[in-house]
Each structure stands twice: as structure tokens, then as C-alpha cells.
Copies of this chain bind each other. A is one copy, B any other.
Amino acid sequence: MQNIYFTPGPSALYFTVEHHIKHAIKHGITSISHRSKEFEKIFKKAESNLSELLNLPDNFQLVFTSSASEIWEKITDGLIKNKSLHFVNGAFSQKFASVVKNLGKQADIIASAWGDLPDYSLEKSGPYDVLAITHNETSTGVKTPLSAIKSVRQGYPEAIVAIDAVSSLPIINFDYSQIDTVYASVQKGFGLPAGLGVWLLNDKAIEKATLMREKQQLRNSYHNILTLVEQAKRYQTPSTPNILGIYLLSQVAQDMITRGIQHIRNDSVYKAAILYNMLEKHDILKPFVGDKKLRSETIIVIDSGDRTEDLINFVAKRKMIIGEGYGPLKDKQVRIANFPTHSKEQFEMLVDLIEKFE
């Protein structure tokens, strides 16, 4: 029996990936030129499948990077003229703000304690180029209610709303009319090998970048937001991309469409519920996030205190691998991913096992 990875990323491969990799090798997909018609077909199919899976409006453009953290840099260089506003409640939301500052722009921060939600009603004196919202803080397992995104957008109608959906897609059904750009990594919810960032931008975001370029405010790097967009409109990339990753994304998105995204999302709610319910009654363990409305479905963080290592080893004996806490909470918490590849049966096994931990 092989290990089952419930780690928060990289996580378990989507269960069809091995098959698709074999197919890709057999049919030379790893050897085709990224300037060929065959590659353009793969890119186009990835775009149409992702668009269908996420029910994207027509005004969104898909581009590829090598990671989500690369996108932090591209947003800073291409969408932030002066200043961004960051809602910070964990390591990843903080890192984006640091990237902006390190690149010489201003980053205002509205922060909360880890495990909590920043005050989305707080008013700051803008104007802001970008509002940076981490939908799902992978370090803490806090999710941002979609209503908060809507309300903060109303406060700064000019700003580009940028959503870090690294561990949210494709589970969360975003209202894309409230979002201008959203990005994710493929090694989490999509269940692919790491090494590909997925970035969606609407026309408002592209227009903003275009205006910045006209005014020479956009950093004219080889892989900037607009070179990526302009190449992507022709189903191309500025340099040789992770072709295998793009192919696998296309195939897995198709598989998820076939399975039914609503079905996958319903399963996700069920799997999260049985884990949180068990934790509520557990003698030793408890959910880190107190407020039920803020509990992430996809990254479930458990306060395990000085029993953390014991817990990880306890489930590892049954070939189930769960993640450590993040950063300062590394030794005090575990993090469990609930992604589309994790079946209800696997989750039930895991929940039953953790229930017995004493």
C-alpha cells in the first residue's frame, strides 16, 4: 500500500494524473515544440477546460507562470503603480506584502492574528492600485468569506481586486464579477506535480497594466504581465513553459468536468464537515480556527500542541501523511488538505483514525 498524502501542497496527485503522464510520454507531448500548432491546441484546451470548470466569464484571460509566488512579483511590477492594500492573517498574505515593499512600492496592511480574519470593514486612505486578499490562508486554514471580498471591493472601486486562491481552486465557486485577478498553484487542489502557476486576469486588470506600460510604469521584463497576456492570446508563452504541466492541467480539468464540479464541491463540504465535527469532540485535539464561518474546507488546521509529532507518526503508521504546522506553529499544529483527489472513503478512514488518537 502506498502512502496517501493529505499534505497541504504538494499533495496527492489527482488520481488520473499517472494515466495522463503515460499518455503524454507515449505520444511525445514532452517533446513537441512550444511554438508548434500541437502546443497551441494543448494551451487552448487547457483554457477552455479551466474556463468551463470554473464557470469563468468571457473577459478572463489565462496565463501560465512557474509558481504562484512568481505572480506576486508580476502583480507588483505590472499592476501596482504606487500602493497596494493587503489583508494579512498568515504567512502567505504577509509574504505578498513583503514582496511589494521589497520591490520598492508601498504596501499598506490590515492585519489580524493568525487563525483570525482581518477587519475587512476598516477604511484606509487609498487610493490603492491593488487590493490583495488571500482567500484561503494555507498557513492557518482560515478562509475569507466571499461577502468580505464584495464589501471591500465596494470601498475601493478603482482598485484591482487580486485573490490568492492557491489552495482554493477549483473548490471555491468565486463570484468572478467581484474579482479582477486570481491565481493558484497546480500542486494543491488540482493535484498536479509542482512547477506551474495558473493566473487569471480580467479586462480591467489587463487595461490597467496596458495603461501602466503606456506611461512607462510597468517593469518591462521578459516575462511581464503583458508579454504573458499577449502571448497567451495566441496560445503561446514567452519562453519554453512546463508543457507537461499545462497538458496535465487540461486533462485533469476535463476529468473534473466529467465527474461534475458540483459533485466534487459537495464531497469537499462533506469531508471537511466530518473532520471538523470529530475534532470538536476530540479529547486532545481541536480545530485551530475557532469561528466556524472562517474554517477552510480545503486546509484544515488542528491544534495538536506537544502531541504534534505523535499525531503525525500515528497516522503515518497507517500510510497516511499529514502536514506539519506552518512557520512558528510548525511543532504545535498539523495541517490536512482536503482536495478533489481525496475520496470520501479516504477521508473517513483518516477521520476514524484521528478519532482514536489519544
**Which positions in A face B, CB cutoff 8 Å?**
2-3, 5, 7, 9-13, 17-18, 21, 25-26, 28, 30-34, 65-70, 72-73, 95, 99, 102-103, 185, 187, 193-196, 219-223, 238-245, 321, 323
| Contacting residue for A7 out of B25, B33, B220, CB 8 A | B33
A1 smallest CB distance to B (angstroms): 12
A34-B10 in contact (CB<8A) = yes
How long is the Cα–Cα vector from A21 to B24 in the complex, in angstroms? 12
Bound complex: CA A243 to CA B219 (Å): 29
Q: Knowing A25-B13, A194-B243, A242-B193, say if A69 contacts B30 (CB, 8 Å).
A: no
Secondary structure type dominating chain A contacts: loop
Give the docked Cα–Cα distance between A71 and B65 (Å).
14
**Other-chain residue from B7, B12, B66 in contact with A67 (beta carbon distance below 8 A):** B66
Is A3 within 8 A of B28, CB to CB? yes
**Which residue of chain B is the closest to A239 with respect to CB atoms?**
B69
Beyond contacts A18-B25, A69-B222: 7 other A-B pairs, Cβ-Cβ < 8 A, are: A5-B28, A10-B30, A10-B32, A68-B239, A73-B221, A195-B242, A195-B245
Min Cβ gap A330→B in Å is 9
Tell me the minimal C-beta distance from A41 to chain B in angstroms.
16
Complex alpha-carbon distance, A1 and B89, angstroms: 55
Residue of B nearest to A221 (CB): B73
A242–B240 touching, CB < 8 Å: no
Q: Given the complex, which residues of B lie within 8 Å of A69, measured CB to CB?
A: 222-223, 238-240
This protein's copies in its complex: 2
Most B C-beta atoms less than 10 A away, residue of A10, A31, A95: A31
Which residue of the partner chain B has the closest CB to A5? Answer: B31
Measured between beta carbons, the chain B residues less than 8 angstroms from A193 are: 30, 242-244
A32, B321: Cα distance in complex, Å: 9
19 interchain pairs, CB-CB under 8 A: A9-B240, A10-B34, A30-B187, A30-B193, A31-B321, A65-B66, A66-B67, A66-B195, A67-B240, A70-B239, A72-B222, A73-B223, A95-B222, A185-B240, A193-B243, A194-B241, A194-B242, A195-B240, A242-B242
Closest residue of chain B to A99, judged by CB? B222
Tell me if A103 and B30 are in contact (CB < 8 A). Answer: no
- In the complex, the answer to whether A194 meets B240 with C-beta atoms within 8 Å is yes
B5 touches A220 (CB 8 A): no
Partner of A30, one of B13, B73, B220, B241: B13
